[in-house]
Amino acid sequence: MPLFHASVFLLSSIMLAIAGDWLVRSLARIARYFGWQEFIAAFFIMSIVVSVPELFIGLTAAFQGIPELSFGNIIGANIIHFTLALALATIVLGKLEFDSENVRLAADFTILFALFPFLLIIDGVLSRVDGMVLMSSFFIYVIWVFSKRERFSQYYRPVIWDGNHHLLSPFEKFQQVMKDFGLFVFGMGVLLLAAQGIVNSATFFANAFNIPLVVIGVFVVGLGTALPETYFALSSARRGNAWMVVGNLLGSTVLTASLVLGLVAFLHPIIITDFSPYIVARAFLVLSAVALLVFSHTDNKITSREALVLLMLYVLFGVVQLFVL
């Protein structure tokens, strides 16, 4: 049985990564077809797409009565956003600039959102009311972001040529976007199956080896669900689009820590009777958030040297988490 569930977890994680890649690619092409703003596509739409794994795992965990798995998953994924994903993208770029006041302010708000659930659960319960507060805070944040979107005026250039430099007719462009819609829907279905497999295998290992579900969520499931964000950050960095890196990682962190976690708590309150399994994850989330705050406000950029610090912080997190299991 352990071998079977390990295989299910590995296969589900691979499916999660592949489906996340499909969603990112298909949505990017759809955004180009409609000529959407890069700001909307990266900070809002792309963030939603790459956060679908956390959403599906959260809903599955809530309906199965184990919402603490989702809580740990989101903590672990956000640690990766602040350290591994941001560090790798910065190393590829050479430096990651926060040269806009609105971007720096968005980064500050993101840090607050990542830590906000810890304040709400200080009484041991993330209740339905707390869930509503988290979801409401997300929508208030979205209103603020869209009120500032005139500062981000770059648009995707609509695709008018194919790979062989042939001019596409309107019908050919329509055919292409319909294929992308189909791929998008199929990818969502694959993500749903992968989320179910990950939740079931994670539950098995937690019970079999007496490991708290939150630790499984933070250290294992969190890494799996953060693959789409990390892939998109690296893909954007290779294209030299630093703004897409920042927008996607900040947006997905805010979305999972507020809307996704709020929805999970609303469906099934998260009750924590023992906070000891959270000590390592909570400490490293705070450390990574402080590091991001300091680095982003130092000359308004993250350098390659600072990226290495973030990368080592993630490695240290993994070593300490394994040590205390």
pLDDT tens-digit readout, 198-237: 777 877 877 787 777 777 777 777 777 777 777 777 777 8
Residue 129 has a pLDDT of 95
Q: What is the pLDDT of residues 148-191, one digit of tens each?
A: 655 444 444 544 444 444 556 677 777 777 888 888 788 777 87
Q: Do 16 and 9 contact (CB within 8 A), yes or no?
A: no
Give the residue-averaged pLDDT of 8-19.
79
- Each domain of the chain, given as residue ranges in start order, spans 2-323
CA torsion sign, 78 to 82 to 88 to 90? positive
Closest CA to 168 of 9, 33, 314: 33
Res. 70: pLDDT tops 80: yes
Res. 44: pLDDT tops 90: no
Give 202's contacts (C-beta < 8 A, 6+ positions apart).
9, 69, 213, 216, 217, 220, 221
At residue 154, the 3 state secondary structure works out as coil
Measured CA to CA in angstroms, residue 246 lies from 90, 169, 310 at distances of 10, 35, 15
Q: CA 86 to CA 111: how far, in whole Å?
A: 14
Res. 50: pLDDT tops 90: no
Q: Which residues pair with 167 in a beta bridge?
A: 161
Residue 208 has a pLDDT of 81
Q: CA 19 to CA 219: how far, in whole Å?
A: 21
If you average pLDDT over every residue of the chain, what do you get? 80
CB atoms inside a 10 Å sphere around CB 89: 27
CATH fold of the domain at 2-323: A middle domain of Talin 1 (1.20.1420)
Q: Helix, strand, coil: what percent of the chain each, to 5?
A: 80, 5, 15
pLDDT band at 195 (very low <50, low <70, confident <90, very high): low
